[in-house]
Amino acid sequence: MSPRRHVLSILVENRFGELARIVGLFSGRGFNIDQLTASPTLDPRYSRVILVTRGDDAIIEQITKQVHKLVRVRRVHHVEEGKHLERELCLATVHAATPSAREDLERIARLVGARVVAYAGAAFTLELTATSLEVEHFVELLRPLGVRDLVRSAPIALPRPLSDAEAPTSERH
């Protein structure tokens, strides 16, 4: 059985070199980063790093504690399965020269909610925003058509919003 996938959301000061420190901590301890994205938050003093790694719960707990010890890290949140919203972007260029191949491509796009964003001759570029598993499924559906090029973003994630009854009283508006 392969190690379980884990998503970490790290709030860090938006300063030069902070992402390198986080990545260095992982590589220095022999942990692999599967996917990584970073962007500023609404408060430009901070950035959010979303990191995907694999390991058992003990390793993830160790990683979380070590990342939290970094000076400019403000918060580390282990994003739990089902308690967050996660999306990934995929762009794929497919060769669909025959009418049959174009019909297959249209069917796949409708099935998964992808859209054509560019085309030239028989090359079609599709865009899909979905969960990581849905993107995996999309790529597998496209493979028989002949994928020419493919790029995927790292996932982005936010906790699911709480209802007023679930929210702590200090966070209610």
User: What is the mean pLDDT of each successive set of 10 residues along the chain, which is 173 residues long?
Assistant: 86 94 91 93 94 89 90 89 86 96 96 97 96 95 96 90 63 36
Query: To which residue do tokens 């990683």 refer?
Result: 63
Closest to 136 (Cα-Cα) out of 152, 117, 124, 158: 152
Q: What is the dihedral of CA 6, 11, 13, 15, to 10 degrees?
A: 40
Query: To which residue do tokens 């909610």 refer?
Result: 113
Provide the CATH number for the domain formed by 85-157 in this structure.
Answer: 3.30.70.1150
Q: What is the per-residue pLDDT for 171?
A: 41
Angle of helix 57-68 versus helix 18-28 axis, rounded to 10: 140
Query: To which residue do tokens 């970490």 refer?
Result: 8
Q: What is the per-residue pLDDT for 172?
A: 35
Query: What is the fold, at CATH topology level, of the domain defined by 5-79?
Result: Alpha-Beta Plaits (3.30.70)
Distance separating alpha carbons of residues 142 and 163, to the nearest angstrom: 39
Closest to 109 (Cα-Cα) out of 132, 89, 87, 125: 125
**Tokens representing 162?**
């709480």
- 41 to each of 20, 45, 50, how far by Cα in Å? 18, 8, 12
Domains of the chain, residue spans:
5-79, 85-157
3-class DSSP state of 111:
helix
Report which residue type is found at 49. V
Matching fold, domains 5-79 and 85-157: yes
